[in-house]
Chain A
Amino acid sequence: MKEFKGRVVVPGTCKAEALVSRNGFNTLASFQMALMFNKAGVPCGDQNNPDINGMPMQGKALCLPITIGSTTGGMILFTACKTGKAPACMLFSQSIDSLAASGAIMGSVWSETSMPVIDRLGEEFLETVKTGDSVTVLNDGIVQIG
């Protein structure tokens, strides 16, 4: 088991299977079709992201560097949180970007469902974690792989 320590953006704990995007995660491109057409498991729809395109995101530990793309990103994440379609948690290797942060924070303030978000886990975290690994998020920004 390997352990990493990051910064807590939205507090919470969870255990989930990792889904790893090594490139920037485009929130709109990833979620739009799945949310709009209520696709089971919320498969990623970003054709430009070969790491996770087509893979289910709902309930996964989404591991990523940052999010990219449209400024609708935050409200898409908020909607995913509010409708129970969000990942179990979001784990950023870098400092969180403004769109992901606003989505996660709005999810926390304006909905009952909260998705734990940890950032600044470091490059080694993203190099270590693999899709399918078991990931545990503890209090104080501790993330365990395996």
Chain B
Amino acid sequence: MTLTREQEALLNGEKGEVMAKIMKTLVMFGDTFGAERLVPVTGKYGHTVISYGLKVLGPVLDVFDEIIDAGLTDGQKFSADPRPLDKNVPSNLLEDIVFQKIMYTDQARYEEQMRKLGILDDDDYTCTCYLPEVGNIPKKGDVLSWAESSAVVYANSVLGARCNRNSGMLELMGSVAGYVPEFGFLLDEGRKADWIVEVKCKKRPEAQLLGSAIGMKVMEDVPYIRGLDRWLGTELTQEVCSYLKDFGAATASNGAVGLYHVDHLTPEAKESGESLIRENAKVYVIDDAELEHVEAGYPVVWKNKYAKPQLCFVGCPHLSLSQLEDWTFKIENCLRYSGIQKVSVPTVFTASTPVIRAFTASGGAERLKKCGVILSYICPLMYMNNPLCKAKAVITSSNKLRTYTSARYFTDKEILDIITSREGRI
């Protein structure tokens, strides 16, 4: 890799040993992928996937201390993934002890580190930093140093920004140094599609199922998706963006997709069309039967697979304002139809604090509360990240949450039916 004189000086310790280690990490990382140079981060803000002071991640927090102690706190500001704890989310005494005394004992230390390193605001803990209410929205072509698989795939695919699938820690190092190695999704060649996905469903495919199927098939490759515009149209409306948010999160967690193109819809597909497809791209045809097959393959890890659900999580990734409005309307109607006042399964909807604030201002939060639904900024994945939750029958419409925890996947429609039925059973 060829470095500029300034980069060379940083690598050789001009700004101290810690900055030299950061540069060494970035250079080694770039060399592994054949990067020829480090390029400046041009996005205004960063985003970090780390949002929790887990005791086990002590070594990660020790590195942050090294960076802070070296005075390297003038890098770009950033948002962060959602917090792992919220007292509004139901938990029993034992869970509280595990959360507070065993798992997240370093939460205060971590949040203080984030303030020193440059978090935008104490409210900017969300995986959906790119939503308008939060405002960390990169421009097309911006080079980013982000991590959080669902945010990276959204920034690349829906916003047309340029970001590799960086790991936690590495993204902050890019923000501190102000450089990232140029390879992969930063280059035009790396944004070309290795797969053509033909969507031939007879009904609009569930975003989280379609994303899961594609992720498991293409792994880390770039898919060019034909036939989805039939269901989504050709404009990036709020509703379509919400669909793509959930779809992308599933591709990234069930596989390792960092960029997808949707024919006639996403910015680069609109601009360049099928010239984005590589020669000899592989083809994957998805119809309703294929989606059913994929769903049937999900393991059910509940001890009793007929158990009555004890908790329901919706919002991984965090819900958008339009999704909250849509869910509230549907829940109110279904509860009326069932002749009950409140949901029959303890239910938590998760969204960023700025989105919750906007939803509250519009009166929606009060309506949702009347339906018995709890609204929280929590990260459901971090909440469920403990063995006690394995004994709980948790349902979700998030394929990401399903992948990492014992939560059982149901489509949005099935979740709606379960939580608004009198019995609250699957």
Give CA–CA (A101, B183) in the complex, Å.
Answer: 14
Question: Does the CB pair A71–B299 fall under 8 Å?
Answer: no
| Contact string against B for A residues 25-52, beta-carbon threshold 8 Å, 1 for contact and 0 otherwise | 0101100110111100000000110000
Q: CA A37 – CA B55 in complex, angstroms?
A: 10
Chain B neighbourhood of A68, CB < 8 A: 215, 219-220, 254-256
B residues in contact with A33, CB < 8 Å: 385-387
Contact status A70-B24, CB under 8 Å = no
- Please tell me if the beta carbons of A36 and B103 are within 8 angstroms of each other in the complex: yes
The winner among A35, A65, A79, A103 for most chain B CB atoms within 10 A is A79
A125 at the interface (CB under 8 A from B): no
Q: Taking A70-B253, A98-B167, A102-B167 as contacts, is the C-beta distance between A75 and B57 under 8 angstroms? A: yes
Total contacts A-B at CB 8 Å:
126
**CB contact under 8 A between A69 and B50, given known A75-B168, A102-B29:** no
Taking a contact as CB atoms under 8 Å apart, the answer to whether A66 and B220 are in contact is yes
CB within 8 Å of A: which B138-157 residues: 147-149, 152
B219 near A102 with CB under 8 A, answer: no
As a 0/1 sequence over residues 293 to 304 of chain B, the CB contacts with chain A under 8 angstroms (1 = contact) are 000000101000
Residues on B with beta carbons closer than 8 Å to the beta carbon of A24: 219, 255-256
Partner of A71, one of B152, B219, B301: B152
> Is the Cβ of B301 less than 8 Å from the Cβ of A98?
no
Q: Which of A47, A70, A75, A96 has the most CB of B within 10 A?
A: A70
Complex Cα distance, B212 from A68, in Å, reads 13
| Residue picked from B54, B55, B63, B301, most chain A C-beta under 10 Å | B63
Please determine whether B168 and A101 come into contact, CB atoms closer than 8 angstroms: no
Complex Cα gap A109–B215 (Å): 31
Is residue A87 contacting chain B, with contact meaning CB distance below 8 A?
Answer: no
Q: Are B169 and A66 in contact (CB under 8 A)?
A: no
In the docked arrangement, what's the CA distance between A30 and B32, Å? 24
Instruction: Tell me if B56 and A36 are in contact (CB < 8 A).
Output: yes
B100 CB to nearest A CB, Å: 14
Q: Which residues of A contact B107 (CB under 8 A)?
A: none
Question: B169 to chain A: which residues have CB within 8 Å?
Answer: 74-75, 78, 102, 106
The chain A residue sitting closest to B57, CB to CB, is A79
C-alpha spacing A66/B221, complex, angstroms: 12
Cβ-based interface call for A139 (8 A): no
Contact A74:B167 (CB < 8 A) given known A24-B255, A66-B220 = yes
Nearest to B66 among chain A residues (CB) is A110
Q: How many whole Å from A74's CB to the nearest CB in chain B?
A: 2
Query: CB distance B25 to A105 under 8 Å?
Result: yes
Q: How many residues of A contact B (CB 8 A)?
A: 41
Q: Is A99 an interface residue (CB 8 A)?
A: yes
Q: Within 8 Å of chain B (Cβ to Cβ): is A15? A: no
Whether A101 touches B404, Cβ cut-off 8 Å, given contacts A32-B385, A36-B54, A70-B49, is no
Query: Is B89 interfacial (CB 8 A cutoff)?
Result: no
> Quick check: is B60 within 8 A (CB to CB) of the other chain?
yes
| A-contact bits for B254-265, CB 8 A (1 contact / 0 none) | 111000000000
* B225 CB → nearest A CB, Å: 19
How far apart sit A35 and B60, CA to CA, in the bound complex (Å)?
Answer: 13
Interface centre among A26, A66, A71, A102 (most CB of B within 10 A): A71
Query: How far is it, in angstroms, between the C-alpha of A70 and the C-alpha of B254 when the chains are bound?
Result: 9
Contact assessment for A73 and B167 in the assembled complex, using a CB-CB cutoff below 8 Å: yes
Contact A29 B404 (CB under 8 A): yes
Bound CA span A9–B169, Å: 19
* B403 CB–A CB distance under 8 Å: yes
- Tell me the complex Cα distance, A47–B409, Å: 14
- Residues 66-96 of chain A: 1 if any B CB is under 8 Å from the residue's CB, otherwise 0? 1111111111001100110000000000001
* Given A68-B219, A71-B49, 5 extra CB contacts under 8 A: A36-B56, A36-B385, A68-B220, A71-B166, A105-B29
Give the 6 A-B residue pairs with the shortest CB-CB distance, closest first: A74-B167, A82-B59, A102-B167, A75-B168, A71-B147, A68-B256
What are 14 A-B contacts defined by CB distance under 8 Å?
Answer: A24-B219, A28-B404, A32-B404, A33-B385, A35-B56, A67-B256, A68-B254, A74-B168, A75-B168, A78-B60, A98-B29, A99-B165, A103-B167, A106-B25
